């Protein structure tokens, strides 16, 4: 923090140095590098950085609590910094490169903002995430990778022509400060979070992941940006759901067989189940979109048909891939039991979708997001039912 603070002071004091560094870094924004820099700089978006943090730090709910507190502190410090710069020195601090030099004098990627550039919010988010990872992850290679990635994201804000070097240095300083404070507070408040606190943290993380599917940034129109956001959201969502299942599983032991179940086997089967579920989700969304958007079928009916098609898809892959070691029952009988199980989980799935689309104008306009919420509502039940009811013969086979 001391080095970053000194760098901010030097850059603000020497306009020529600030200008020279800006033009040097901005020279890398050549037309053939637009795809690279648009995707790199978008990783510094606050919500996307939170999703990455959830994916990396989901093992311990205390770490997730630090990520969430850090989001609040970073947002607060950045906004205070921007308004303070505008209040005390609107021209010297708050005027960005575009406002000072003009759009024709720089290489610009993305939207154009003339003011409120000091400090850089994306730089703060990237530096904050890197700091939390360095404080919480023991792997040296992971820490090195995250630091290099964060540095590239921070520098990209100058490369795309949106910020001065002083803006990104100040943003990085605030991000480090916010993360150190967040970790310090959470380690004392959540030293040993109880069951209800862990459940609450994971549920909040799931909400953040679902929100990421509808995240809007300045680079949504650039190739690769949306797929990266969806990938991060999906990975983080699956990990959070697994941690939620794992936490509940540890708390409520259903039987002696479950007590003796190997944790590693549960992890492997859940990961496989998540992979199958992800493929089923694609089938679900595809059929829903086809029936609703192209054939004009009512959203509720299209949702119901797509659900059962995806359920059959998931049963087949879970039989042949996820629980392949289980003793094989007759297909017709097992398929019938699987669909009966899905009939029960269909109600929280379809019910969540219907309540959201009928009770909220936002979800009525964004039916795919309501579909994601419904899928998340039924996923935990589906995994436990498939593992311990539909494919229960695997347990007896292993114990024999």
pLDDT in tens, the chain (400 residues): 777 777 777 777 777 888 888 889 888 888 888 888 888 998 888 889 999 999 888 888 888 888 898 888 998 988 888 877 777 665 556 677 877 777 788 888 877 665 667 888 889 999 999 999 999 888 888 889 999 999 999 999 999 888 888 888 889 999 999 999 999 988 887 766 677 778 888 888 888 888 887 788 777 777 778 888 888 888 888 778 777 777 776 665 444 444 444 455 666 677 777 777 777 777 787 778 777 776 778 887 887 888 788 888 888 888 877 777 666 677 778 788 877 877 777 677 777 778 878 877 777 777 767 777 777 777 766 776 676 677 665 444 444 3
Return d(Cα 278, Cα 200) in angstroms, integer. Answer: 24
- Sorted by where each starts, the structural domains of the chain and their CATH numbers stand as 2-228 (1.20.144), 256-399 (no CATH)
What is the DSSP code string of 244-275?
A: HHHHHHHHS---HHHHTS-HHHHHHHHHHHHH
φ, ψ of residue 170 in degrees (nearest 5) = -65, -40
Return d(Cα 30, Cα 22) in angstroms, integer. Answer: 14
Contacts of the segment 132-137: beta carbons below 8 A, 24+ positions apart: 132/53, 132/57, 132/63, 132/66, 132/67, 132/70, 132/179, 132/182, 132/183, 133/53, 133/56, 133/57, 135/179, 135/180, 135/183, 136/57, 136/60, 136/63, 136/66, 136/183, 137/56, 137/57
Return d(Cα 94, Cα 92) in angstroms, integer. Answer: 6
Nearest to 388 by CA among 256, 197, 218: 256
Rg of the chain over all Cα atoms, to the nearest angstrom: 24
φ, ψ of residue 95 in degrees (nearest 5) = -80, 120
Is the bond preceding residue 314 a cis peptide, omega within 30 degrees? no
Q: Are 8 and 173 in contact (CB under 8 A)?
A: yes
């Amino acid at each position: 923090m001391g080095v970053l603070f000194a760098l901010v002071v030097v850059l603000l004091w020497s306009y020529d140095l600030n200008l020279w560094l800006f033009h040097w870094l901005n020279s890398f924004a050549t037309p053939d590098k637009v795809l690279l820099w648009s995707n790199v700089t978008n990783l510094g978006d606050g919500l996307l950085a939170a999703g990455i943090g959830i994916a990396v730090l989901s093992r311990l709910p205390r770490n997730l609590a630090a990520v969430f507190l850090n989001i609040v502190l970073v947002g607060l410090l950045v906004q205070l910094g921007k308004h303070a710069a505008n209040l005390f020195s609107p021209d010297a601090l708050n005027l960005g490169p575009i406002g000072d030099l003009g759009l024709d004098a720089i290489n610009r990627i993305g939207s154009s903002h003339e003011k409120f550039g000091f400090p850089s919010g994306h730089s703060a988010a990237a530096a904050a995430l890197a700091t939390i990872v360095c404080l919480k992850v023991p792997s040296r290679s992971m820490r090195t990778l995250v630091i290099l990635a964060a540095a590239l994201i921070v520098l990209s804000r100058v490369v795309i022509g949106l910020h001065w070097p002083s803006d990104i240095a100040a943003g990085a300083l605030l991000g480090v400060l916010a993360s150190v404070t967040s970790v310090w507070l959470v380690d004392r408040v959540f030293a040993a979070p109880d069951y209800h606190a862990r459940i609450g943290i994971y549920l909040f993380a799931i909400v953040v992941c679902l929100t990421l599917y509808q995240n809007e940034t300045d680079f949504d129109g650039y190739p690769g940006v949306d797929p990266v956001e969806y990938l991060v959201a999906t990975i983080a969502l699956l990990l959070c759901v697994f941690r939620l299942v794992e936490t509940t599983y540890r708390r409520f032991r259903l039987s002696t067989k479950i007590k003796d179940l190997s944790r590693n086997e549960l992890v492997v089967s859940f990961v496989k189940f998540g992979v199958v579920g992800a493929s089923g989700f694609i089938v679900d969304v595809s059929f829903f979109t086809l029936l609703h958007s192209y054939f004009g079928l009512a959203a509720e009916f299209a949702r119901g048909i797509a659900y059962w098609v995806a359920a059959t898809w998931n049963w087949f892959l879970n039989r042949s891939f996820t629980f392949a070691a289980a003793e094989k029952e007759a297909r017709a009988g097992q398929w019938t039991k699987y669909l009966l199980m899905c009939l029960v989980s269909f109600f929280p799935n379809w019910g969540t979708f219907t309540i959201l689309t009928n009770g909220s104008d936002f979800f009525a306009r964004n039916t795919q997001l309501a579909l994601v919420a419904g899928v998340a509502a039924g996923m935990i039940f589906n995994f436990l039912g498939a593992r311990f009811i539909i494919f229960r013969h695997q347990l007896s086979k292993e114990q024999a």
